[in-house]
C-alpha cells in the first residue's frame, strides 16, 4: 500500500467505543434527525413512503380490519370504540387514506354501528401538532373516528389521546386493539447475534469517522461514520426474559455460520401493547424484512445503508413470528417473498380468524401492495407504455398522487394528439387525484400538474383554479405563470394574462414561447 493510502486509512477518529448494536449512537442520531426535520422529512421527499402509505395499501388494511371486526362482532363492547393505533405514523398519510377507504363501504355495512377510533402516534411532537392542525384530518376528528397521541414505541406503555383526553392503558381498553406499524420496527434499536458451531455470540459495534466530530450527537455525523464489529459469547438467557430466551435458544440449535438481527426493542413494544389490549391484538406490519427461517442461514454482517436521513436494515420478522406463535397466536404471511414491503398479520386472543384470513388472502396476498408497487416501477421504466395503459395504472393505484407523479413524465408525452375518448377519463382522474391528495407541503406541485392536464383537454376555467393553487404554493413560478396566462387567453381575459407575463423574470421575457403568447394576447 502506498504511504499516502496508509495515512488515509489510518486517519480515523473514534466516535464511539464498541457497544451492543442496540446501544449504538446511530439510533440516537437517526432519532435526532426525525426530531429536527419533523414533517419536512416527508414533505421534501427525504424519506420514501409511497408504498407504505398509499391509497392501495390503506384500502387493503381497511378490508383486513373489516374482516377482523367480523370475527369479533359478537364479542365486542358496543359502548366503547375499537382502537386502531398506528405506530410511527410520520406524515399521517396512511391514516388519511385508511379512513377514506373505510368510508367507502363501512357506513353501509352490517357493522356500521360498531364504533372505531384511528389513533395517529409518533414520538416527534411537531408531527403530532401538524396532524392536529391539518384541515383534511379535522372532519374525521369531529366524527370521533380520529385521535392523536405522542407515543414513543421504544419506551411508552400508555397512550394519552389528545382529542378525547382518554388514556389507553392496561385494564382500561374494553375491546381488542388493532396496531399498524409500517416501516417502524426497522428504525428502532435492534441487536446483532452470530451463531457459530453451536455457540451464540452478541455482536458489538464501534464507530469511527474520517474527521474529528466535536459534536458526536449531530445527526449529520451519520453520513460519515464507519462501523467496526466484534463479538463475545453469551447465553440465550441474555435478556432475562423467557420469550427472547426461547427464540435465541432455537437459533443456537438450528442455525450455524450466520449473523442475524434480533428485535428485542420491538418485542418489548409488543409486550406493552399486548398488556394494553388485554391479550386481544391484531398487528399489521409492513417492512423490508424476512419471515422464513431459511432466509437467516449463512448470513454475513448486515449491510447498513447510511444516508442523510439515517440508515435502513432488514427486519427480522422470523423472530416476531416465533414470539407470537409461542404465545399461541396466529401469523398470516404471503406464499411469495416480497421485494420491497413484506406485510404480515400477527393475531392474539381472537375467537376466530376465518374472516381475517380471507381478507388477508384477498387483499394482501392476491392483491399485494408489494406487487402493486413493483408494477408501478416497471411501468415507469416502460418507454412504450400507451396513454390507455397509463390511465389504467393510475386507476389501479386508486388515484394516488405519489404514483401519479411517478407516471407523470410518461403521461406528459402522451397529451398532444390524445384521442377524444381519453378526455372524460382524464377529467375523472384529475378529480379523484385531487380528492385523494394529502397536503404535506411537497416541493413537487400536484396542482400544477393537474392544471396542465385540464388545459390539455380544453377545460381552461378548471385549469385556472389549479394553476392559482399552484402559485399559492410556489409564488412567482415562471412555468405556472406562463400556463395560467395561456388558460386566461382561452377564456377571454387577455389583460390579466399580459399582467402575469410581465411578472416573468427578465431573462424569460423575450423567449420565443412567451413572445408568441404575448402576440396572441395583443390580438385578442
Q: Provide the pLDDT confidence category of residue 30 given band limits of 50, 70 and 90.
A: confident
3 state DSSP class of 300: coil
Angle at 384 between CA 382 and CA 387, to 5 degrees: 100
What is the residue whose three cell numbers read 434527525?
33
With contact defined as beta carbons under 8 Å apart, do 459 and 440 qualify? no
Domains of the chain: 3-33+189-262 (no CATH), 36-188+268-367 (3.40.50.12710), 382-523 (1.25.40.10)
pTM score, two decimals? 0.90
Average pLDDT over residues 414-443: 89
* 294-315 pLDDT, tens digit each: 999 999 887 666 555 567 788 9
**Structure confidence at residue 415 (pLDDT):** 87
* Residue 252 pLDDT exceeds 90: yes
**In percent, how much of the chain has pLDDT > 90?**
68
Beta bridge partners of 61: none
Grid coordinates given for 220? 449529520
pLDDT in tens, 455-508: 999 999 999 999 999 999 889 999 999 999 999 999 999 999 999 999 999 888
Reported as a single tens digit per residue, the pLDDT across 166-206 is: 999 999 999 999 999 999 998 899 999 999 999 999 999 99
Q: What does the alpha-carbon distance between residue 479 and residue 25 come to, in Å, rounded to a whole number?
A: 45
CB atoms within 10 A of CB 240: 7
Q: Which three cell numbers stand for residue 430?
A: 384529475
Residue 291 scores a pLDDT above 70 = yes
Q: Which is it for strands 167-168 and 159-160: parallel, antiparallel or unpaired?
A: antiparallel
| SS3 readout for 190-229 | CEEEEEECCEEEEEEEEEEECCCCCCCCCHHHHHCCEEEE
Q: Is 12:210 a contact under the CB 8 Å cutoff? A: yes
Residue 449 has pLDDT above 70, yes or no: yes
d(CA 356, CA 362): 10
Q: Which residue has the cell 466530530?
A: 213
Amino acid at each position: 500500500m502506498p504511504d499516502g493510502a496508509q495515512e488515509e486509512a489510518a486517519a480515523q477518529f473514534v466516535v464511539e467505543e464498541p457497544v451492543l448494536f442496540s446501544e449504538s449512537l446511530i439510533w440516537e442520531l437517526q432519532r435526532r434527525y426525525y426530531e429536527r426535520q419533523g414533517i419536512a422529512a416527508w414533505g421534501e421527499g427525504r424519506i420514501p413512503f409511497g408504498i407504505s402509505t398509499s391509497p392501495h395499501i390503506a384500502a387493503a388494511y381497511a378490508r383486513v380490519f373489516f374482516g377482523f371486526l367480523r370475527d369479533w362482532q359478537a364479542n365486542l363492547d358496543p359502548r366503547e370504540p375499537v382502537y386502531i393505533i398506528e405506530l410511527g405514523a410520520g406524515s399521517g398519510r396512511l391514516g388519511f387514506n385508511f379512513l377514506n377507504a373505510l368510508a367507502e363501504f363501512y357506513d353501509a355495512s352490517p357493522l356500521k354501528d360498531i364504533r372505531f377510533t384511528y389513533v395517529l402516534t409518533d414520538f416527534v411532537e411537531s408531527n403530532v401538532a401538524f396532524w392536529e392542525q391539518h384541515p383534511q384530518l379535522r372532519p374525521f376528528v369531529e366524527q370521533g373516528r380520529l385521535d392523536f397521541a405522542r407515543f414513543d414505541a421504544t419506551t411508552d406503555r400508555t397512550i394519552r389521546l389528545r382529542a378525547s383526553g382518554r388514556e389507553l392503558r392496561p385494564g382500561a381498553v374494553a375491546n381488542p386493539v388493532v396496531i399498524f406499524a409500517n416501516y417502524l420496527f426497522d428504525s428502532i434499536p435492534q441487536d446483532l447475534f452470530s451463531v457459530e458451531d453451536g455457540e451464540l455470540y452478541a455482536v458489538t459495534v464501534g464507530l469511527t469517522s474520517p474527521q474529528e466530530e466535536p459534536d458526536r450527537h449531530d445527526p449529520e455525523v451519520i453520513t460519515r461514520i464507519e462501523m467496526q464489529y466484534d463479538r463475545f459469547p453469551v447465553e440465550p438467557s441474555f435478556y432475562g426474559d423467557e420469550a427472547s430466551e426461547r427464540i435465541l435458544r432455537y437459533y443456537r440449535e438450528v442455525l450455524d455460520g450466520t449473523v442475524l438481527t434480533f428485535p428485542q426493542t420491538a418485542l418489548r413494544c409488543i409486550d406493552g401493547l399486548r398488556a394494553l389490549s388485554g391479550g386481544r391484538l391484531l398487528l399489521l406490519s409492513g417492512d423490508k424484512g424476512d419471515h422464513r427461517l431459511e432466509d437467516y442461514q449463512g448470513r454475513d454482517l448486515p449491510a447498513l445503508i447510511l444516508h442523510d436521513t439515517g440508515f435502513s436494515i432488514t427486519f427480522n420478522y422470523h423472530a416476531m413470528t416465533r414470539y407470537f406463535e409461542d404465545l399461541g397466536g396466529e401469523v398470516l404471511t404471503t406464499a411469495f417473498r416480497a421485494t420491497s414491503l413484506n406485510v404480515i398479520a400477527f393475531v392474539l386472543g381472537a375467537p376466530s380468524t376465518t374472516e381475517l384470513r380471507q381478507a388477508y388472502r384477498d387483499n394482501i396476498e392476491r392483491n399485494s401492495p408489494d406487487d402493486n408497487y413493483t408494477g408501478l416501477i416497471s411501468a415507469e421504466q416502460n418507454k412504450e407504455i400507451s396513454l390507455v395503459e397509463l390511465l389504467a395504472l393510475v386507476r389501479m393505484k386508486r388515484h394516488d398522487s405519489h404514483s401519479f407523479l411517478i407516471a407523470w413524465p410518461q403521461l406528459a408525452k402522451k397529451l398532444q394528439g390524445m384521442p377524444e375518448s381519453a378526455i372524460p377519463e382524464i377529467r375523472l382522474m384529475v378529480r379523484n387525484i385531487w380528492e385523494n391528495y394529502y397536503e404535506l407541503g411537497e416541493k413537487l406541485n400536484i396542482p400544477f400538474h393537474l392544471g396542465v392536464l385540464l388545459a390539455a383537454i380544453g377545460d381552461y376555467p378548471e385549469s385556472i383554479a389549479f394553476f392559482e393553487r399552484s402559485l399559492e404554493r410556489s409564488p412567482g413560478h415562471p412555468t405556472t405563470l406562463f400556463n395560467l396566462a395561456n388558460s386566461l387567453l382561452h377564456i377571454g381575459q387577455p389583460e390579466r394574462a399580459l399582467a402575469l407575463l410581465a411578472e416573468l423574470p427578465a431573462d424569460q421575457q423575450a423567449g420565443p414561447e412567451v413572445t408568441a403568447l404575448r402576440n396572441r394576447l395583443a390580438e385578442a
